[in-house]
Amino acid sequence: MSRNGWTSADAPDQSGRVAVVTGASAGLGLATTTVLAARGATVVMACRDVAKGERVAERIRAANEHADVRVVRLDLASLASVREAAAELRSAHPRIDLLINNAGVMAVPYQRTEDGFEVTLATNHLGHFALTGLLLERVLATAGSRIVTVSSNAHKRGAIRFDDLQSERGYDPEAAYAQSKLANLLFTAELETRLEGAAAGTIALAAHPGNVRTGLWRTSSRVERLVIGARLGKLTSWLAQDVQVGALPTLRAALDPSARGGDYFGPAGRFEYTGLPIRVEPSPAAREEGARRQLWDASEALTGVTYRLGAAAA
């Protein structure tokens, strides 16, 4: 690690390893995919828009002739799509070393998915919960594998509304996003506890990018977009950073040999908005054991995906 902190230059060789990255065709997912491919990993880009994913994959190959990147269609807001993608991945890859649950939506209008779920919770949490469970056998079969889920600083404002998970009695886009990002951390903590209990060779970690200039901000207010935009970059460098730096907490969680199960990585700077990745602390709400278990049970019931950790680990 450099004197200033962990960077992509510290990422070890990934030759022979398989990584699945959701939301890999843009933003943080694309930055993560690019580094993994450059380090020699076979990277499966799990994207909702396959045509866009193929165009991006071709650009990665053009820049790096040795890059091994592939595309699988995945719409996290559809359980049918999640099951189809998982089946394709299981068929094509007997091993999965890294599962990076990166894709997400933020501050979108109220919508219900085909499964009847509020779209933010469905995309950011339930879809990833189902995908992870459906790929778990392949991940557990791979020594040293990791499951990394991307959360957000917004989780600190979040609360899990167990009596109204789908926001049927009132919807606020920011509250829905904060709830989903808190769910990401509760899921990671409970998954790591269960992996430890099963004596699995897999660990679960989380990361957050700080404030990053990505397409997620397209639904934010004009003022917010202006403040974090490149035009004011020199004045607001402490407030928002480029996507390549924003992807580093995810990459460190996935690749740093010193990382441990349950670790949470985020930027080192002021308010964890910007900077190179360090271990950071989630909110107290993200550590509540009762909420972890309650969310897990609700997620299994809603998705129909049950984790068989004991049998898979054995």
Contact 100, 19 (CB under 8 A): yes
Fold for the domain defined by 11-210+245-313: Rossmann fold (3.40.50)
CA atoms within 13 A of residue 129's CA, in its CB half-sphere? 31
The residue annotated as part of the active site, out of 110, 171, 177, 264, is 177
DSSP assignment, residue 297? H
CA atoms of 219 and 107, how far apart (whole Å): 6
Token pair 């680990």 is at which residue? 313
The token pair that represents 218 in the structure block: 């397209």
- Determine the distance from the C-alpha atom of residue 163 to the mean position of all C-alpha atoms in its chain, rounded to a whole number: 26
Residue 236's pLDDT is what?
Answer: 58
The token pair that represents 122 in the structure block: 């469905």
Residue 232's pLDDT is what?
Answer: 53
Domains in the chain: boundaries:
11-210+245-313
Q: Name the residue among 168, 173, 179, 174 with its Cα closest to residue 109.
A: 173
Question: pTM of this prediction?
Answer: 0.92
Q: Name the residue among 38, 29, 42 with its Cα closest to residue 69.
A: 42
Contact 202, 230 (CB under 8 A): no
The torsion defined by the Cα of 89, 91, 96 and 98, in degrees rounded to 10, comes to 0
Q: Name the residue among 249, 219, 220, 299 with its Cα closest to residue 6.
A: 249
Helical ranges in the chain per DSSP H: 27-38, 50-63, 79-92, 119-121, 127-140, 173-197, 222-228, 243-246, 248-255, 289-303, 309-313
Burial class from Cβ neighbours inside 10 Å (0-12, 13-18, 19+) for residue 215 reads exposed
CA atoms of 242 and 227, how far apart (whole Å): 13
CA atoms of 203 and 188, how far apart (whole Å): 9
Which strands form 264-267's sheet, in the order they lie side by side? 68-73, 42-47, 18-22, 98-101, 146-150, 203-207, 264-267, 277-279
Residue 15's pLDDT is what?
Answer: 98
Residue 107's pLDDT is what?
Answer: 93
Q: Name the residue among 311, 19, 309 with its Cα closest to residue 190.
A: 309
Instruction: Give exposure, 46-83, as e/b (b: 16+ Cβ within 10 Å).
Output: bbbeeeebbebbeebeeeeeebbbbbbebbbbbbebbb
> Going residue by residue through the chain (314 aa), what tens digit of pLDDT does each one get?
767 799 999 999 999 999 999 999 999 999 999 999 999 999 999 999 999 999 999 999 999 999 999 999 999 999 999 999 999 999 999 999 999 999 999 999 999 999 999 999 999 999 999 999 999 999 999 999 999 999 999 999 999 999 999 999 999 999 999 999 999 999 999 999 999 999 999 999 999 999 998 764 444 455 454 554 556 555 555 589 999 999 999 999 999 999 999 999 999 999 999 999 999 999 999 999 999 999 999 999 999 999 988 644 43
- Determine the distance from the C-alpha atom of residue 289 to the mean position of all C-alpha atoms in its chain, rounded to a whole number: 21
Burial class from Cβ neighbours inside 10 Å (0-12, 13-18, 19+) for residue 115 reads middle
Is-catalytic flag, 177? yes
Instruction: Give the amino acid at 110.
Output: Y
